[in-house]
């Protein structure tokens, strides 16, 4: 298992930043490599949705299942990658002085065959995607 740690600060209350993450409709607008999302209803524990994303050179339809949902505190998705592994994305939110501190942990495995080929690419692109989304969000305030 590989992991990526993400940390950022946004000069907004946590409820506004939380909305970026719990509305899949925002993902193609803010998250580079996400082309489309397919979902119904509001996000909550157990919620499932799909995105069409290009993270490792080719577009793929990726299932996301919400495995943790503590309003304005923690959001976690698990994305199974059939036959090769999976991705777990955990984002924690903390508000101090009207700013939101974001801590993310992405753990992933592409398995023993694809891992050596894709781990470096995935790490670079995932970091770019998350930090890029936060930067775009800040600019659109």
SS (H, E, C) 65-129: EEEEEECCCEEEEEEEECCCEEEEEEEEEEEECCEEEEEEEEEEECHHHHHHHHHHHHHHHHHHH
**HSE (side-chain half, CA atoms, 13 Å) at 123:** 13
Total domains in the fold of the chain = 1
Domain around 69: 2-139
Residues in the chain: 141
Find where tokens 């309003």 sit: 71
Angle at 53 between CA 32 and CA 72, to 5 degrees: 65
pLDDT band, residue 133 (cuts 50/70/90): confident
Give the pLDDT confidence of 67-124 residue by residue, as tens digits. Answer: 999 999 999 999 998 777 889 999 999 999 989 999 999 998 877 777 777 778 888 8
Of residues 139 and 26, more confidence is placed in 26
pLDDT at position 120 is: 80
Query: How would you label 36-74 residue by residue, b for 16+ Cβ within 10 Å and e otherwise?
Result: ebebeeebeeebebbbebebeeeeeebbbebeebeebee
pLDDT at position 109 is: 83
Give the pLDDT confidence of 30-63 residue by residue, as tens digits. Answer: 998 999 999 999 999 999 999 999 877 788 899 9
């Amino acid at each position: 298992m590989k992991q990526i740690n993400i940390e950022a600060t946004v000069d907004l209350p946590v409820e506004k930043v939380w909305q970026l993450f719990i509305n899949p409709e925002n993902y193609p607008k803010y998250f580079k490599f996400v082309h489309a999302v397919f979902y119904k209803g509001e996000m909550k524990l157990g919620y499932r949705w799909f995105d069409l994303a290009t993270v490792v050179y080719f577009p793929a339809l990726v299932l996301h299942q919400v495995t943790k949902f503590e309003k304005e505190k923690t959001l976690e998705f698990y994305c199974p990658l059939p036959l090769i592994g999976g991705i777990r994305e955990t984002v924690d939110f903390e508000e101090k002085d009207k700013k939101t501190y974001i801590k993310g942990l992405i753990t992933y495995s592409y398995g023993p065959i694809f891992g050596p080929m894709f781990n470096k690419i995935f790490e670079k692109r995932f970091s770019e995607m998350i930090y890029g989304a936060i930067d775009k969000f800040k600019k659109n305030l």
